[in-house]
Chains A and B, each alone.
Chain A
Amino acid sequence: AQSVTQLGSHVSVSEGALVLLRCNYSSSVPPYLFWYVQYPNQGLQLLLKYTSAATLVKGINGFEAEFKKSETSFHLTKPSAHMSDAAEYFCAVRTNNNNDMRFGAGTRLTVKP
């Protein structure tokens, strides 16, 4: 069965600094990978998805993620953090022989002024 691990339940960066949120997956078949963002008391909003077309995926709000098969990773990055990026971020995996999606435990991003 597929699964994801998000390293670091809390990440704190200064405004303008690089954001790096880590996600490693486990899957015996080629995965589909997703990053979602959640603001307080709201649902999850899709940031970006990897579906085997291109290994570097660009998403909304300046975020991007790179699929690295050799490292089984799909880390989320943003060159320059903004205060509005403070939220919880979830990595998720789905495979082509399963209809459900598995989520990581989440990483809470804090942005300091």
Chain B
Amino acid sequence: DGGITQSPKYLFRKEGQNVTLSCEQNLNHDAMYWYRQDPGQGLRLIYYSQIVNDFQKGDIAEGYSVSREKKESFPLTVTSAQKNPTAFYLCASSIQGLGSNQPQHFGDGTRLSIL
């Protein structure tokens, strides 16, 4: 079955530590996205990538970094500069095309907490 796999499901970060969240998709989608979800705030866009080796900052990119070396993979690193990283992180992908009317497909998320 095609889909998006996020790992791990739960992750704990120590002070001053960088952690990386994995996102892999086998849908052959060009575009991939990272969202942060906090209670009552919906989804906020962290980074997105429309094509391999290219990515753009979203609304809340500070304290995060990404890479897109392969079409299937879009890992997110939460750096020590992100002072409030506790949240639910969702990865998504969609068929590329400016003006695409196609929906985004989501993984099952990673819940990150501070130790």
**Which A residues are within 8 Å of any B CB, using their own CB?**
9, 32, 34, 36, 41-46, 49, 51-52, 90, 94-101, 103-106
Contact = CB atoms under 8 A, between A and B. Distances in A.
Interface in B45-59: 45, 48, 50, 58
B90 A44 contact: yes
13 contacts: A36-B106, A41-B88, A42-B109, A43-B6, A43-B107, A43-B108, A46-B103, A94-B100, A98-B98, A99-B96, A100-B33, A103-B43, A106-B40
Contacts of A97: 98-99
Given A44-B106, A103-B42, A94 B101 contact: yes
B31 interface: yes
Contacts of B45: 100
B104 interface: yes
Contacts of A45: 106
B42 A106 contact: yes
A45 B92 CA distance: 11
B103 A100 contact: no
Nearest to A91: B42
Interface of B: 4, 6, 31, 33, 35, 40-43, 45, 48, 50, 58, 88, 90, 92, 96, 98-101, 103-109, 111
Contacts of B35: 103
Given A43-B109, A99-B31, A99-B48, A105 B42 contact: yes
B56 to A, nearest CB: 9
Contact of A42 (B100, B104, B108): B108
